Amino acid sequence: PRHHLPVSIEGVKEGDFTMVFGFPGSTDRYRTSFGIQQALDKTNNAVVDVRDVKLAIMREYMDADPAMRIALASKYAQTANYWKYFQGQSEQLRRNRVYNKKRKIEDDFRQWVSGLSDAKEREHFGQALKLIESSYSTSDKYAVTEIYAREAGLSGAGIWLFALRGAFTLDRYFQMESEFAAKIKAEKDKAKKAELIQQRDAVLGQIKAALEASAADHFEDYHAEMDQRMVDELLYLYSKNVDAGVHPDFFASVVAKRYKGDFSRFAADLFSKSIFADKDRFMKFMAKPKQKTLERDLAYTASKDLYAAYQYGANNHPEAEANKNKGYRIFVEGLRRMQPDRKFYPDANSTLRLTWGTVGSYHPRDGAFYDFFTTHQGILQKENPNDPEFVVDEKLLTLLRNRDFGPYANENGDLVVNFISNNDITGGNSGSPVINGKGHLIGCAFDGNWEAMSGDIFFEDKIQRTISVDARYILFIIDKYAGAKNIIDEITIISGDESTAVSAK
């Protein structure tokens, strides 16, 4: 490359300039109080409640079997990530009084609108918040339905998405089989009939091969017993927390009628009979597919009903969505007119953005103080061989205990692990380079602090912090722990003044 970032091991101090380049996923900084109320009263709680159950079931199996702990580690972490995010967001929206702050902005906006001299402008800007409020009132009826259909349904137990994809693909298979049969029957020419048969076998063979490959992948790490628990407990939660009028059809037509509302019995029958619950049953079916067999399958019916419930919740309010989009466009237009000296920026949308700030400690609450950096001492203090989240590799432990840090220690002989700054980041920024005022890499951003989990909606400049891993710790891991001298040799390392840089070899 024409240029690469030199990596500084000079370290950071309070007040140092920091700049982050990255691709933040999404923010919602112009969300109104109506959207915040919906999140606090409905949507956030729904996600957390469903994931509470999912995580508890996974934990039970992970605690009982070390092999399951390894197999489920990634899925567990992925599920827990947004479970914790929505808990934190709700807590900090309340704690930071974001609803009240948004109401103040909206009240100021209404007052500004009422003071406009032009009647057409008053009418134009006056509709903004009314349109937004109306759209949220409408979507309130469907928001929880969508979440439960997705979280407790389609992405709840593993069987559902596999069954749904299989159902749609097999529907196409049988449709094409029928169309080929009609063409073959109508064709009188023997040569052309043979050609059609050859085409049919090739097309249907490709579909079957794709389904069988998908099944092999799905069942490779599949745990049917745990998935059966997921079906039972998540669908029961769904039935209890969502209005019966918007339940998936099979809740009434199958679970209520055939199993007297007992989701445990339904799940047991599903997993003992469905072709989508067992690899051998699925492959046996694929050896000689029958449409009637498919259509009688419980997973085939239920997965389609769950998908229909999700579509109902997600797409049943196009007019409300159009009103919300129109309202927000007018609202932001008005805010820019109302505050001509304020600099406005678009919400994050996974495009390249930069944010600048400074390294800094903060007071998260009364009587508490968080310094701007942490050291290896924190790793040693938290290390616990009996807690999977705090197990530390023996080689790393030895290096830390012996203080074998090479040139990466600070002036006190400690190894700095992380530092915090008031940069503005969100999901998608993990791994983003943090650069100092000289254009040197000083760390990589990877998280935000708990006290500002509402930051995607309202930036809290007094307490919002970006957490970054210090460049010295990164180099220590590459050099001392991994022994990857070949990588170190390719890095331009800055120590102190720029003139002492070690050129890449």
Q: Tell me, yes or no, whether 301 and 364 share the same domain.
A: no
pLDDT of residue 498: 56
How do residues 174-201 score in pLDDT, each as one tens digit?
Answer: 999 999 999 999 999 999 999 999 999 9
Query: 2 in a domain, yes or no?
Result: no
Query: Using alpha carbons only, what angle is made at residue 170 by residues 169 and 171, rounded to the nearest 5 degrees?
Result: 90
Q: Is the pLDDT of residue 363 over 60?
A: yes
Q: Tell me, yes or no, whether 14 and 73 share the same domain.
A: no
Helix axes 224-241, 158-186, angle to 10 degrees: 100
Q: Tell me, yes or no, whether 143 and 183 share the same domain.
A: no
Residue where one domain finishes, among candidates 298, 314, 330: 314
Q: Tell me, yes or no, whether 365 and 443 share the same domain.
A: yes
> Could you give the number of structural domains in the chain?
3
Q: Tell me, yes or no, whether 128 and 233 share the same domain.
A: no
pLDDT of residue 387: 87
- DSSP for 76-141 reads HHHHHHHHHHHHHHHHHHHHTTHHHHHHHHHHHHHHHHHT-S-HHHHHHHHTHHHHHHHHHHHHHH
Q: Is the pLDDT of residue 505 over 80?
A: no
Query: 143 in a domain, yes or no?
Result: yes
Contact 361, 369 (CB under 8 A): yes
Neighbouring C-beta atoms of residue 345, cutoff 10 Å: 9
Q: Is the pLDDT of residue 256 over 80?
A: yes
HSE at residue 82, side-chain half, CA atoms within 13 A, is 14
Q: Tell me, yes or no, whether 217 and 255 share the same domain.
A: yes
296-321 mean pLDDT: 93
444-449 mean pLDDT: 96
Q: Tell me, yes or no, whether 134 and 206 share the same domain.
A: no
pLDDT of residue 317: 84
| Percent of the chain scoring above 90 in pLDDT | 93
113-132 mean pLDDT: 97
Beta-strand runs (E) in 346-494: 353-358, 373-375, 416-421, 432-435, 441-448, 466-470, 493-494
Q: Tell me, yes or no, whether 323 and 359 share the same domain.
A: no
Query: 102 in a domain, yes or no?
Result: yes
Residue where one domain finishes, among candidates 268, 298, 314: 314
443-459 mean pLDDT: 95
| pLDDT band with cut points at 50, 70 and 90 for residue 388 | confident
Q: Is the pLDDT of residue 12 over 90?
A: yes
Q: Tell me, yes or no, whether 274 and 354 share the same domain.
A: no
Query: 292 in a domain, yes or no?
Result: yes
pLDDT of residue 314: 85
Q: Tell me, yes or no, whether 434 and 487 share the same domain.
A: yes
Domain holding 228, by residue range, is 157-314
| pLDDT band with cut points at 50, 70 and 90 for residue 25 | very high
pLDDT of residue 502: 44
d(CA 67, CA 72): 9
Q: Tell me, yes or no, whether 294 and 282 share the same domain.
A: yes
Q: Is the pLDDT of residue 374 over 70?
A: yes
Q: Tell me, yes or no, whether 388 and 289 share the same domain.
A: no
Identify the burial level of 27 via C-beta atoms within 10 angstroms of its C-beta, where 0-12 means exposed, 13-18 middle and 19 or more buried.
buried
Q: Average per-residue pLDDT in the chain? A: 95
d(CA 94, CA 80): 21
Query: 1 in a domain, yes or no?
Result: no
